[in-house]
């Protein structure tokens, strides 16, 4: 019989990315915990329904927050896999009703990945006047052996707010290709922050965050932070389309490249089809300043430690 607990490797990697494990494992805290294609923990709370079905290679699930429900504590999601090889497919759907509030703290952990693929096809539907905060922290181990392909489609209802924070800054990356399409309705607000750090020549990150401001007076900001060192490659595309009067958006990309063979590319794409809309962008790509390095080395850090600290600060 399959062990219905979270393996220690996954718990440890949760700690590595800053998850408060005691909170995540607290029997009373709302959660959905997966180990490969097994559901190892579900805890619902008043107004929060979590349903899941185990598939051959993964899990399909619905997470539903009812109208008027405001969940104070974060809902923990853990998508973990310990084997070094295989394929995991996760198909989650998040439905947040009207006048509701919820925050998700997701932890995707593949600590032993060598030839492992994780695919996610997610959908988020947010009703009117609601708020959804979604944070996803990844840990892919030390072997650059993970291939991670998440695709998300998000609909942000009138006067609602969607905040997404994605970070992959601990351990190696492997291959990551993220695609996110977000549709903002009337007076909706969208904030996307993405951070990725490629540390060696096997690490390749491609992220495409696209926000479509379809509703009147909708607003968005996309903030992308990336670093590539020792041959890593990070390509980020922040797309904002403003298609309604009063829609305003901003794309802000900042990237650091350090070491032979490292490549970063920041591509802000803005498209405006309404003459009462406005989208701005800024992008900066460069190496770590020598003076910053010298300052930290004068405190006793090695050059690599100093680069790491500066990048983590920017992240």
Partner 1 sequence: MLLNVDNITIMPDDSDKTITKNVTFSMEEEEVHALIGPNGSGKSSIAYAIMGLKAYLPAQGKIIFKGKDITYASITERAKMGITLAWQEPVRFEGITIAEYLEIVAKNREESAKVLKLVNLDANKYLDRKCDNTLSGGERKRVEIAAAVAMNPKLLMLDEPDAGLDIIAYGELSSMLKKIKEETGASILIITHREETGGIADYASLMWDGQVIASGEFKEIMERYCLMARGEKKCMIEPCPKISFKARKQSV
Q: What residues line the site for partner 1 (CB under 8 A)?
A: 289, 291-292, 294-303, 309-310, 312-315
128 or 170, CB closer to partner 1?
A: 170
51 or 193, CB closer to partner 1?
A: 193
13 by DSSP, 3-state: which? Answer: helix
Contact 259, 231 (CB under 8 A): yes
Measured at the CA of 219, the angle between CA 176 and CA 181, to 5 degrees, comes to 30
Distance CA 249, CA 217 (A): 10
Residue 117 Cβ vs partner 1, minimum distance, rounded to whole Å? 32
Contact 32, 39 (CB under 8 A): yes
Contacts of 313 (CB under 8 A, 6+ apart): none
- Of 141, 209, 205, nearest to 176 (Cα)? 205
Residue 254 Cβ vs partner 1, minimum distance, rounded to whole Å? 9
Distance CA 183, CA 185 (A): 7
34 or 192, CB closer to partner 1?
A: 192
- Cα atoms in the 13 Å half-sphere on the side-chain side of 238: 27
Residue 160 Cβ vs partner 1, minimum distance, rounded to whole Å? 29
Residue 294 Cβ vs partner 1, minimum distance, rounded to whole Å? 6
11 or 228, CB closer to partner 1?
A: 228
8 or 305, CB closer to partner 1?
A: 305
Residue 221 Cβ vs partner 1, minimum distance, rounded to whole Å? 17
């Amino acid at each position: 019989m399959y062990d219905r607990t979270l393996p220690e490797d996954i718990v440890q990697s949760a700690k590595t990315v800053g998850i408060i494990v005691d909170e995540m494992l607290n029997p009373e805290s709302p959660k959905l915990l997966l180990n490969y294609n097994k559901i190892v923990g579900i805890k619902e709370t008043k107004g929060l329904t979590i349903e899941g079905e185990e598939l051959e290679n993964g899990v399909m699930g619905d997470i539903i927050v009812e109208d008027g429900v405001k969940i104070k504590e974060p809902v923990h999601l853990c998508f973990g896999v310990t084997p070094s090889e295989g394929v995991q497919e996760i198909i989650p759907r998040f439905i947040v009703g009207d006048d509701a509030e919820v925050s998700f703290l997701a932890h995707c952990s593949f600590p032993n990945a060598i030839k492992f693929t994780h695919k996610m096809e997610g959908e988020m539907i947010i009703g009117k006047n609601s708020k959804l905060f979604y944070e996803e922290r990844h840990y892919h181990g030390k072997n650059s052996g993970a291939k991670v392909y998440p695709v998300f489609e998000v609909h942000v209802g009138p006067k609602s707010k969607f905040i997404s924070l994605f970070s992959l800054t601990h351990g190696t990356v492997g291959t990551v290709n993220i695609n996110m399409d977000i549709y903002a309705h009337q007076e909706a607000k969208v904030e996307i922050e993405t951070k990725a750090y490629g540390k060696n020549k096997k690490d390749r990150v491609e992220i495409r965050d696209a926000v479509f401001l379809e509703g009147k007076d909708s607003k968005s900001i996309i903030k992308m932070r990336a670093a590539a060192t020792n041959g890593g490659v990070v390509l980020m595309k922040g797309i904002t389309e403003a298609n309604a009067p009063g829609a305003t958006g901003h794309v802000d990309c900042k990237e650091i490249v350090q070491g032979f063979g490292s490549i970063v590319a920041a591509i802000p794409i803005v498209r405006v089809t309404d003459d009462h809309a406005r989208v701005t962008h800024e992008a900066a790509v460069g190496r770590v300043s020598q003076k910053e390095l010298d300052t930290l080395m004068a405190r006793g850090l090695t050059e690599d430690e100093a680069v790491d600290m500066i990048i983590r600060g920017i992240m």
